[in-house]
Amino acid sequence: MKKPIRSHQLFARAQHILPGGVDSPVRAFQAVGGSPLFIRRAAGARIEDVDGNRFIDYVMSWGPLLHGHAPSGLVTAIAVAARRGTSFGAPCALEHELGERVRALMPSMERVRFVSSGTEAAMSAVRVARAFTRRDKIVKFAGCYHGHADGFLVKAGSGATTLGVPTSPGVSKAVAADTLLARYNDLPSVAALCKTHKKTIAAVIVEPIAGNMGVTPPADGFLQGLRELTARHGILLIFDEVISGFRASPGGAQSILGVTPDLTCLGKIIGGGLPVGAYGGRADIMKLVAPAGPVYQAGTLSGNPLAMTAGLWSVKRLTPGLYRNLARRGAMLAAGLADAARAANVPLQVNAHGSMLTPFFTSKPVRDYESALAADTTAYATFFGGMLKRGINPPPSQFEAWFLSAAHTDRDVEQTIVAARAAMKAVKRKAS
């Protein structure tokens, strides 16, 4: 790897205009040390920094790039759409075409509203849930991340945990008081809240396959139990499938795990990686959303033709073969990382679900936020540095997911495992 001199220069300059030199915290590399690489282009499974270093990418724009970076068909489709106009602020047919496709894949989304990000989707879903139930409180799980709206920044995963501010300053006490915390994979913790806060909880929001404390799959029966509990207490169940939607399967986690939520949130994955999100669900709930009903939510860029075009291109290509290959390569990578750690005598737990995985540097199983936090973040940082040096780009935080795409080949995965063997040895050397 060439010295990232140009990246350093750009980062230094960015500090004078962007807080911390970036527009989203995790990418600043604070959790892994050093300074971030500035990327000038990406194609397929590879990204290239401004100093000419090329990496096999496992960040994949944090998940949505199921078909890899910049597939040529997608780029052409966006270019054609852009020539017709980039934003209308008026309805276009692409919106209901994509909406119908989303519903066909996820039948629980009887009505869909497009927005511009997963954050917007989650905050809007909660607003509708509150209006529908006429209750104020929500239950979220420690370590789950639902974007950065105030009510979710209480023990939030992802960047909030990475930076050590899981509960952000700036969230008012009143807002925080309406967010109740439960433990992921721990139904009794939810049951206890339902009992204490009878008839005041509007919704339980959950990542059905948690990705933002690192990949943490649901324990058997956890989601089914949530479904029963919420139905019994008149509480709406919201699945945040910003990460798992279309990645876990064409119908998201809900289709493979067999649990139907009342509302679902989707993110950039339905826009083929462009800035987009959506929320939707039962028609009787969604009819409250303006202008059908009184719950206000709006956005000029919502349903914009570029994002809708990219989304249509992307969802039309969710073939069984795509998922078979993603799962096979995901399993290959997970096994390779585990072997590399064993060979170097480094304690590691690899949590995986299909094409997403997280290697946690700990000897104990990770099934919730507490056990995720027990992972050795210093070891992860050493491992990350070792991988980067060898041409592999993992996420710059222990508490994020690695993502594969259709563009990753068996050779890419093999190359990654070879790099992991060397990087694990460095972790061991540093620890002893």
With contacts defined by CB under 6 A, how many residues of the chain interact with ligand HOZ?
8
Residue 159 CB, nearest approach to ligand HOZ (Å): 5
* Cis status of the peptide bond prior to 396, with omega within 30 of 0: no
Residue 22 CB, nearest approach to ligand HOZ (Å): 7
Alpha helix ranges (H) inside 258-298 = 283-286
What one-character-per-residue DSSP string does 89-114 give? SS--HHHHHHHHHHHHH-TT-SEEEE
Residues 349-408 that bind ligand HOZ (CB under 6 A): 400
In the bound state, the residue with its beta carbon closest to ligand HOZ is 24
Smaller CB distance to ligand HOZ: residue 368 or 400?
400
- List 57, 262, 268, 279, catalytic entry: 268
- What percentage of the chain's residues is helix, strand, coil (to nearest 5)? 45, 15, 40
Residue 178 CB, nearest approach to ligand HOZ (Å): 23
Helix (H) or strand (E) holding 264: strand 263-266
Backbone angles phi, psi at 277, to 5 degrees: -155, 175
Q: Name residue, tokens 């759409």.
A: 81
Reply yes or no on whether 184 is catalytic. no
Question: Contacting ligand HOZ (CB under 6 A), which of 5, 18, 19, 24?
Answer: 24
Three-class SS state of 334: helix
Residue 212 CB, nearest approach to ligand HOZ (Å): 5
Reply yes or no on whether 145 is catalytic. yes
Residues 6+ apart with CB under 8 A from 430: 378, 379, 382
Question: Contacting ligand HOZ (CB under 6 A), which of 30, 108, 117, 158?
Answer: 158
Q: Which stretch binds ligand HOZ (CB under 6 A): 20-28, 93-101, 163-171, 195-203?
A: 20-28
> Would you mind telling me the total number of residues written for the chain in this entry?
432
- Of 82, 45, 97, the residue nearest 66 (C-alpha): 45
Q: How far is CA 137 from the centre of its chain?
A: 24
Question: Contacting ligand HOZ (CB under 6 A), which of 7, 53, 212, 304?
Answer: 212
Residue 354: DSSP 8-state: T
Site string for ligand HOZ, 41-80 (x = CB under 6 A): ---------------------x------------------
* Cis status of the peptide bond prior to 291, with omega within 30 of 0: yes
Q: Which stretch binds ligand HOZ (CB under 6 A): 6-14, 24-32, 36-44, 84-92?
A: 24-32
- List 57, 137, 145, 412, catalytic entry: 145
- Of 230, 331, 271, 273, the residue nearest 99 (C-alpha): 271
Q: Which stretch binds ligand HOZ (CB under 6 A): 23-31, 120-128, 171-179, 301-309?
A: 23-31
Question: Contacting ligand HOZ (CB under 6 A), which of 14, 26, 32, 366?
Answer: 26
- By CB under 6 A, tell whether 19 contacts ligand HOZ: no
Take residue 333 and report the two structure tokens written for it.
């990578």
Contact status, residue 115 vs residue 255, Cβ threshold 8 Å: no
Residues 269-328 that bind ligand HOZ (CB under 6 A): none
Q: Which stretch binds ligand HOZ (CB under 6 A): 19-27, 46-54, 121-129, 252-260?
A: 19-27
Reply yes or no on whether 410 is catalytic. no
Residue 212: DSSP 8-state: B
- Of 265, 42, 238, 40, the residue nearest 132 (C-alpha): 238
- List 49, 57, 178, 240, catalytic entry: 240
Residue 144 CB, nearest approach to ligand HOZ (Å): 11
What residues are annotated to the active site? Answer: 145, 240, 268
Q: Rule CB under 6 A: which residues touch ligand HOZ?
A: 24, 26-27, 62, 158-159, 212, 400
